[in-house]
């Protein structure tokens, strides 16, 4: 597992490396722990991702990176179809919290694939 570096992930597997650096930092999980048990950290709403627990953190993150997250969401929906469960932007807290969780889980799907393909 030591060969699975964050640098390798960002340079060779990440679809949005600059943004993924930011979201990894926001998540607050040590890289070695993240790749050792990626499924444990996949779901942002599980409470296992320290930087994705409180609204004050998730809402602020999504507001700072709103356009980047919308780009990732647009790419996802173009590839997989429109998501029906998106909260309305009228409810700012739910909307921005959901965007943060979507961004985290989108990145984590790439981390899981990186780990699985490297074994």
Would you call 61 exposed, middle or buried from its count of C-beta atoms within 10 A (0-12, 13-18, 19+)? buried
Give mean pLDDT, residues 2-6: 82
The answer to whether 16 and 99 are in contact (CB under 8 A) is no
Q: What local confidence, expressed as pLDDT, does residue 118 receive? A: 86
User: Helix, strand, or coil here: 116?
Assistant: helix
The answer to whether 63 and 98 are in contact (CB under 8 A) is no
- Measured CA to CA, the distance from residue 21 to residue 7 in angstroms comes to 10
pLDDT in tens, 21-73: 999 999 999 999 999 999 999 998 889 999 999 999 999 999 999 999 999 99
- Measured CA to CA, the distance from residue 35 to residue 42 in angstroms comes to 11
Residue from 62, 61, 75 nearest 106 by CA: 75
| Whether the predicted pLDDT of 115 surpasses 80 | yes
Would you call 67 exposed, middle or buried from its count of C-beta atoms within 10 A (0-12, 13-18, 19+)? exposed
**Domain coordinates in residue numbering, the chain:** 6-118
């Amino acid at each position: 597992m030591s060969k699975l570096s964050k640098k390798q992930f960002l340079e060779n597997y990440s679809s949005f490396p600059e943004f993924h650096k930011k979201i990894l930092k926001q998540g607050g999980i040590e890289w070695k722990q993240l790749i050792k048990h990626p499924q444990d950290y996949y779901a942002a709403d599980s409470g296992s991702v320290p930087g994705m627990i409180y609204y004050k953190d998730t809402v602020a993150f999504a507001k700072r990176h709103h356009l980047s997250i919308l780009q990732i969401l647009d790419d996802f929906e173009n590839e997989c179809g429109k998501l029906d469960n998106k909260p309305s932007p009228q409810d700012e807290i739910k909307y921005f919290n959901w965007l943060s969780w979507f961004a985290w889980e989108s990145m984590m799907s790439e981390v899981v694939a990186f780990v699985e393909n490297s074994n």
